[in-house]
Amino acid sequence: MTLDDVNRVDRTGFVAALGGIFEQSPWVAEHAFAARPFASVDDLHTAMVAAVRGASDAQQLTLVRAHPELAGKAAIRNELTADSAQEQTAAGLGACSTSEFAQLTELNARYNAKFGFPFILAVKGYDRAGIIAEFTRRVEHDRPTELAECLQQIATITRFRLQAMLAD
């Protein structure tokens, strides 16, 4: 698919093509559709992020909660979306040592207990040690700071996904 295709497709096709960019949240694509035509992938991404920023607190929290834990239950049960599975695999999370897996399991439990949503990190460019270090640092945040960080991480993840999907 190209950006030109995105600019020509009808609303249904647009949402079908881009509805999964924001994890299990096709409403983001639905809201961004009205901003067409897009001059670049960056413009498309900006419109989608604006839809998230303009969403209610409840919608934003639902978006955050739609993301899987890193090396968590969904990964173990092979229930990740294709994009999430590829991202976690590329970061080496499927090859955790017993110690790393124990650390991630403990951090996931602490994080979820404290914040009520999963830890989100755009893992591209991180190795397992870096992911664990970032996780350890961020579990100390307060909830508003961490929710804002998660939304920023989602914006980064979706930029990578759009760039991989579309030729500008």
Active site residues: 67
DSSP state of 77: T
Say how far apart CA 115 and CA 63 lie, in whole Å.
14
- Distances in Å between the Cα of 46 and the Cα atoms of 18, 50, 88, 120, 123 are 14, 6, 25, 20, 21
The answer to whether residues 69 and 109 touch, using CB atoms and an 8 Å cutoff, is no
Handedness of CA 135, 144, 50, 60 (dihedral sign): positive
Residue 118 falls in which region: left (phi positive, over 0), alpha (psi -120 to 50) or beta:
beta
Q: Closest Cα partner for 147 from 55, 46, 29?
A: 55
For residue 27, the tally of other CB atoms under 10 A from its CB is 16
